[in-house]
Structure 1
Amino acid sequence: MKTEQVGDALLETWTVDEVAAAFNRNEIILIDVRTPQEFMFEHIEGALLMPMAFFNPDKLPGQSEKRIVFHCGSGVRSERVARRAIDAGLARIAHMEGGFGAWKGAKKPYIGTNMATGAPHLVS
Structure 2
Amino acid sequence: MKTETVGTATFETWDVDEVASALEKREIVLIDVRTPQEFMFEHIPGALLMPMSFFDAQALPGQSDKRIVFHCGSGVRSEKVARAAIEAGFDRIAHMGGGMAAWKAAQKPHIGTNMATGAPQRVD
Q: TM-score, length-normalised on structure 2?
A: 1.00
Confirm or deny that 1:70 pairs with 2:66.
Answer: no
Give the structure 1 partner of residue 43 of structure 2: 43
Q: Secondary structure at 2:46's aligned position in 1? A: coil
**1:83 maps to amino acid:** R
1:52 Cα deviation (Å)?
0.2
Q: Secondary structure at 2:81's aligned position in 1? A: helix
Give the structure 1 partner of residue 61 of structure 2: 61
Q: Which consecutive segments of 4 or more residues in structure 1 shift more than 3 A?
A: none
RMSD across aligned positions (CA): 0.3
Deviations 1:82-119 (A, max 9, x none): 00000000000000000000000000000000000000
**Unpaired runs of 5+ in structure 1?**
none
Deviations 1:28-84 (A, max 9, x none): 000000000000000001100000000000000010000000000000000000000
For 2:82 and 2:46, locate their aligned partners in 1 and report how far apart those are by CA, in whole Å. 20
Give the structure 1 partner of residue 91 of structure 2: 91
For 1:119 and 1:74, locate their aligned partners in 2 and report how far apart those are by CA, in whole Å. 24
Identity of aligned residues (%): 74
Give the structure 1 partner of residue 79 of structure 2: 79
Query: What is the count of residue pairs matched by the alignment?
Result: 124
Give the structure 1 partner of residue 52 of structure 2: 52
**1:61 maps to amino acid:** P
Q: TM-score, length-normalised on structure 1?
A: 1.00
